[in-house]
Every structure is written in C-alpha cells, then in structure tokens.
Amino acid sequence: MTTENKDIQKTETKEIKKTELTHDRPIFTPLTDIYEKDDTIWVVCDMPGVDEKQTEISLENDILTVTGHQADATKEKHDLIHHGYQTGIYQRSFSITNQIDKEKIKATIKKGVLSIELPKAEEAKPKKIVVNG
C-alpha cells in the first residue's frame, strides 16, 4: 500500500518581537538604500536632523539596529503656523549574515545621511580556483 506523502511545510515566524523605546516621540523608518559593491555591502539611510552624537548602531545576534534621534525642533519664541512634518526617532533593523566581517563595520553620518560599510568576511569572498593544465 502506498502511504500519502505530505510535504513538510516550513511555517514562517509570524510573530515579530518589537522592542519598544522608552520615549514618547514618534518613531520613523528611514528610507534606505542597500547595495553591494567590491565585496562590501553598503546600507545608506536618510536621517535628516541627526548628527553622529545622536546616532546609535548596535549589533546583537546578527541583527544590526540603527537608531537616530532627531534634534528637537520646537521653537520657544514662535508659533507653529504650518505643521508639515513631525520630528522624532528614526529606527530600523537589518539582519546581518555570517558573510559580514563584524569587526570591520564602519559608519559615518553626514548631512543627515548615514552610510554603513559592511565588508564581507574573507571566507565569503569568491575565491578564484586555479586550474592546472
């Protein structure tokens, strides 16, 4: 007799654990470009109003988390007569695989644009295989 073959389905983890910040400011997701060039992965985030002192980058369990606190934009001697945008905290997380050399991660922020350089680890770089004749 044949037995039914049931494919073992892998179910995706639907639950995303979200760590809440202990601030009451709104949290924004910065627009990000991610590209790969010359054995390096670049993560570039738009975070206007944030300088290097207000930027935190942490790497934990292969998750890279970027947080940027925008400078407080309220003006004491003026009334806000048109409110086009809010200021708050930028935050975004990315999962980094073992392909990245974690010791060599570098980041700079200039003009409100954060650039993170993630060099690939030696083992992950494509190796040229010499063919002997």
Partner 1 sequence: MLFRDPLNELYRLQREMNRLFNGYTLREEQFPAVNVWSNQEDVVVTAEIPGLESKDINLKVVNNHLTIEAERKADEVTEALYHRKERGYGEFSRIIELPFTVEEDKVNAQYKNGVLTVTLPRKEETKPKKIEISVE
Chain residues that interact with partner 1, rule: CB under 8 A: 31-37, 41-42, 44, 46-51, 71, 73, 75, 77-85, 111-113
Whether residue 72 contacts residue 35, with contact meaning beta carbons closer than 8 Å, is answered with no
Q: How far is CA 126 from CA 36, 99, 121, 133, in A?
A: 14, 11, 10, 22
Nearer to partner 1, 17 or 111 (CB): 111
CB of 107 to partner 1, least distance (A): 15
Q: How many CB atoms are closer than 10 A to CB 13?
A: 6
Nearer to partner 1, 51 or 101 (CB): 51
| Torsion sign (Cα): 117, 37, 28, 77 | positive
CB of 7 to partner 1, least distance (A): 30
Nearer to partner 1, 11 or 35 (CB): 35
